[in-house]
Chains A and B, each alone.
Chain A
């Protein structure tokens, strides 16, 4: 601690020397930072980014453990696992998992993965780290809002986890929390206090997402350095910007949906409830519609999948271009497809509701819009593939993860075409086919994007390198187990196995599928082990990794012009000016195979093209 305090003092003075003239920095640079202001209540975007990352890794491990527990149950429904009783106590008496708790595990697993890891964790980490660094700003537009965004996130995580320890158990109605199941404690114990905590947690989470989002938008739009026009932004920033806009537009709708659910649960309204007879008595509620909740939920829910996916694609664009030593192919088309995807993502939500009794004609409209969204997605894939073509590829771990992401995006996108076709959805809706689809296209793609980001920007975050060999082991074990787990799940779905089933024992026809389930669980365990290798590499490298050089990947973007040691305000002197787009890799005639954005054309007469001179 001593040492750290020392060096932080050193930074402060150093920053002070150089950062004068930047009004909003002067005030809090006069006092020495202590542990609290440096590590906890910090307003520095780089530290906040690390806070998000470490919290998300913790949450991801918890959610992963949950999935391993229910995978054990699905593979060996008749076997007792006495060690489970040690973890779960009364929820696994004598090593037999309680069916209600199975649903609770599924619910919290999904909620944590979608919201806490892939929304809060992914955007929180990389938007925070990269937006100021890559647009050339000293910090976020508002450091205080940014700090609040993290603390709302942290408290929200704590509330979600606390629900695991209450008597009636956590929310158990699935991560989509459809009422009436989620509204009535009589229907399932988890809809008592557990669901209340879930709702409180989500409201805090939404606050965090909104505080983060408006900050990201404001920073990208207003704090770009000289020369950083919108068309010179790295694709990462475009992705983060559009993601933030999606979040700001759609999270309030989830808030509204949750609020109405709270009203129905606690204040006797009937927004979602009607004609219910439960626990031996009719309820007073009449006139509401459970389908209304689904409309509201998926109005957030579908944009949400792109809130998860776009940042991952943005990170992959940057990683692929840098490691292919070649410009990203179709920069403008990439931006265009991000924008089209974002727009369309607001008008496809009904594809989750084809068989809810929604008007079939309305269903047809959603089929149309859903399949439209496949077009910009395909454009992105082709652009990635073309970027690899005749590149000069460095297989760093992050590059491998980015290639894996593209592979998943293809596989999962294609099965989406089946689900988006209402006639075909009839028989696979809510089966394991859907589980396979969204885990590949959303879960695994986004997680791989996140891994690519961590391996690539670790030197920027911690000033040290992660161990490459362990990175390779991590990559290979993970990609093999992802396909090993989720590919066979398509077969379960096509055989008609419903999702959210505690066991497939009730129907004799499913008994023959047990060996597929066992295969899946074996791969799941393998994948789980691989994540320990990652966690070890991550934490080991924070303290003991090889020291990083300033620009270890020979990258063009601005973050690599900052010193390795972090300082408040990012650049010791003036913020550098930007003179070109971020993808001048392998430009004919250039001395090195990359030209950072800060190099003016006047210094590179050997590689300039007539096009460049027009700028």
Chain B
């Protein structure tokens, strides 16, 4: 196989040497002057540019329609629908600009190809034009920025969101764990030095808030309920990416990051929408994190709130053996740091 490759390379080099020689000889022999040859090249390449332009645009549009089916389905979260809308508006604007500028670029090139009877138009400055094409992009961009930023502040303004269901998403090489806060909607404090085999998240068992916490390896979400993700990592940077919900946030060791969203479409419903009975939501790791980065994911299931409660009941709490009576003693100690670490922004 390697030998073959080598032979192919050597052979193609030989062919190219021949070609170059022939081309040079031919140029010498023919009485075609260099000028005529350049004329011919200008014509051929000019035509080439036109074919490339229109052929390319047609192929582009074809691909857009052909691959549409492969794109993400309708957003399964509230803010995601807004993002998609914004994205589409942007695409319309950008596509128009794209077509205009590319058409001008290639058509001018074709139209004004060399002709020795003609001189170029000596046109080197025009302040009016410069002002026009400074101002028009400025206006367009201003519009895009304002719509974009208002959406951004809607998405990131945690203060506006109350009563979210608090879920910790915990990344490590190479899997995810979710921890539900339980009835009190408060997560017990966790700290990396407390991690051991039976306590992979390093949760403080003496923290009263942790008593009803429970962990799972699949993320269940109730539809229509605001969710707040508190995201952590224990080793390197990972990233929580939920493409179907238009959610992404890095998991950074040493700090808690957050993302709030509201799922709007259950898995069952999405299976209908996509026409794919095997469809499942997924949480992907989207920050390079090591050898098995490409395998680091977790199934996400959106269900009706009632089903969610059922499911939650069937999960086992983190510290089944913890004596509730231990709680009052540690409560005062753990409440403050806990508030800071996990739910500070609430």
Q: Which residues of A contact B (CB under 8 A)?
A: 82-83, 86-87, 99-100, 103, 173-174, 178, 180-181, 184, 187-189, 273-278, 282, 286, 288-291, 324-333, 355-357, 360, 363-364, 367-368, 371-372, 374-375, 378-379, 381-386, 388-395, 400, 403, 406-407, 410-411, 414-415, 417-418, 421-424, 426-427, 429-431, 467-470, 472, 476, 479-480, 483, 487-488, 491, 494-496, 498, 500-504, 506-509, 512-513, 516, 532-533, 536-537, 540, 544, 546, 583, 585-588, 593
User: Do B119 and A498 touch (CB < 8 A)?
Assistant: no
- Chain A residues with CB below 8 A from B2, complex form: 83, 86-87
A430 to B87, CA, bound (A): 17
A423 to B106, CA, bound (A): 33
User: Do A188 and B102 touch (CB < 8 A)?
Assistant: no
Closest Cβ neighbor of B104 among chain A residues: A385
- Chain A residues with CB below 8 A from B113, complex form: 393, 395
- Chain A residues with CB below 8 A from B46, complex form: 395
A355 to B251, CA, bound (A): 10
Q: A379-B133, A498-B241 known; 19 other A-B pairs, CB under 8 Å?
A: A99-B292, A181-B237, A187-B289, A189-B291, A277-B234, A282-B195, A355-B249, A368-B149, A395-B113, A410-B105, A421-B86, A424-B86, A472-B44, A476-B48, A483-B56, A502-B294, A508-B278, A509-B280, A586-B120
A495 to B98, CA, bound (A): 22
Interface residues of B, count at CB 8 A: 116
User: Do B293 and A496 touch (CB < 8 A)?
Assistant: no
Q: A82-B1, A494-B71 given as contacts; is B98 within 8 A of A276 (CB)?
A: no
User: Do A360 and B192 touch (CB < 8 A)?
Assistant: no
A44 to B117, CA, bound (A): 43
CB distance from A26 to the nearest CB of B (A): 42
- Chain A residues with CB below 8 A from B195, complex form: 277, 282
- Chain B residues with CB below 8 A from A483, complex form: 56
- Chain A residues with CB below 8 A from B98, complex form: 410-411, 414
A286 to B151, CA, bound (A): 36
Which residue of the partner chain, among A326, A357, A504, A536, contacts B121 with CB atoms under 8 Å? Answer: A326
Closest Cβ neighbor of A589 among chain B residues: B122
- Chain A residues with CB below 8 A from B268, complex form: none
Which segment, of B18-26, B215-223, B311-319, faces chain A?
A: B18-26
Task: Select the residue from A181, A391, A423, A469 with max chain B CB neighbours within 10 A.
Answer: A423
Closest Cβ neighbor of B42 among chain A residues: A395
- Chain A residues with CB below 8 A from B157, complex form: 360
- Chain B residues with CB below 8 A from A513, complex form: 70
User: Do A367 and B125 touch (CB < 8 A)?
Assistant: no
CB distance from B21 to the nearest CB of A (A): 9
A383 to B121, CA, bound (A): 15
User: Do B67 and A516 touch (CB < 8 A)?
Assistant: yes
The 4 closest A-B pairs by CB, nearest first: A496-B243, A274-B254, A357-B257, A360-B156
User: Do A512 and B70 touch (CB < 8 A)?
Assistant: yes
Q: A391-B112, A395-B41 given as contacts; is B122 within 8 A of A431 (CB)?
A: no
A423 to B85, CA, bound (A): 11
Which residue of the partner chain, among A274, A546, A593, contacts B119 with CB atoms under 8 Å? Answer: A593
Task: Select the residue from A406, A431, A496 with max chain B CB neighbours within 10 A.
Answer: A496
User: Do A414 and B94 touch (CB < 8 A)?
Assistant: yes
CB distance from A269 to the nearest CB of B (A): 14
User: Do A500 and B90 touch (CB < 8 A)?
Assistant: no
User: Do A427 and B252 touch (CB < 8 A)?
Assistant: no
CB distance from B190 to the nearest CB of A (A): 10
Which residue of the partner chain, among A103, A290, A429, contacts B248 with CB atoms under 8 Å? Answer: A429
Q: A100-B291, A277-B234, A516-B67 given as contacts; is B134 within 8 A of A427 (CB)?
A: no
Q: A393-B113, A506-B297 given as contacts; is B122 within 8 A of A327 (CB)?
A: yes
A507 to B254, CA, bound (A): 29
CB distance from B217 to the nearest CB of A (A): 15
- Chain B residues with CB below 8 A from A390, complex form: 112, 120-121, 123
- Chain B residues with CB below 8 A from A375, complex form: 134, 137-138, 141
Which residue of the partner chain, among A178, A291, A332, A496, contacts B72 with CB atoms under 8 Å? Answer: A496
CB distance from A273 to the nearest CB of B (A): 8
CB distance from A409 to the nearest CB of B (A): 10
- Chain B residues with CB below 8 A from A516, complex form: 67, 70
Q: A395-B45, A403-B49, A588-B122 given as contacts; is B280 within 8 A of A386 (CB)?
A: no
CB distance from A113 to the nearest CB of B (A): 17
User: Do A276 and B122 touch (CB < 8 A)?
Assistant: no
Q: A329-B124, A371-B145, A516-B67 given as contacts; is B291 within 8 A of A103 (CB)?
A: yes
A546 to B34, CA, bound (A): 13
B235 at the interface (CB under 8 A from A): yes
A329 to B155, CA, bound (A): 43
- Chain B residues with CB below 8 A from A87, complex form: 2
A536 to B115, CA, bound (A): 32
A51 to B101, CA, bound (A): 38
A187 to B295, CA, bound (A): 15
Q: A503-B294, A532-B12 given as contacts; is B144 within 8 A of A421 (CB)?
A: yes
A174 to B86, CA, bound (A): 31
Which residue of the partner chain, among B56, B83, B254, B279, contacts A290 with CB atoms under 8 Å? Answer: B254
A394 to B109, CA, bound (A): 9
Which residue of the partner chain, among B114, B122, B286, contacts A498 with CB atoms under 8 Å? Answer: B286
B282 at the interface (CB under 8 A from A): yes
CB distance from B134 to the nearest CB of A (A): 6
CB distance from A192 to the nearest CB of B (A): 13
CB distance from B248 to the nearest CB of A (A): 5
B202 at the interface (CB under 8 A from A): yes
- Chain A residues with CB below 8 A from B295, complex form: 506
B7 at the interface (CB under 8 A from A): no
B329 at the interface (CB under 8 A from A): no
Interface CB pairs A-B, < 8 A, 15: A82-B1, A83-B1, A184-B235, A188-B290, A277-B202, A329-B124, A330-B130, A355-B250, A379-B133, A388-B112, A403-B109, A424-B87, A430-B286, A480-B52, A532-B12
- Chain A residues with CB below 8 A from B141, complex form: 371-372, 374-375, 417
- Chain B residues with CB below 8 A from A498, complex form: 241, 284-286, 294
- Chain A residues with CB below 8 A from B129, complex form: 330, 382, 386
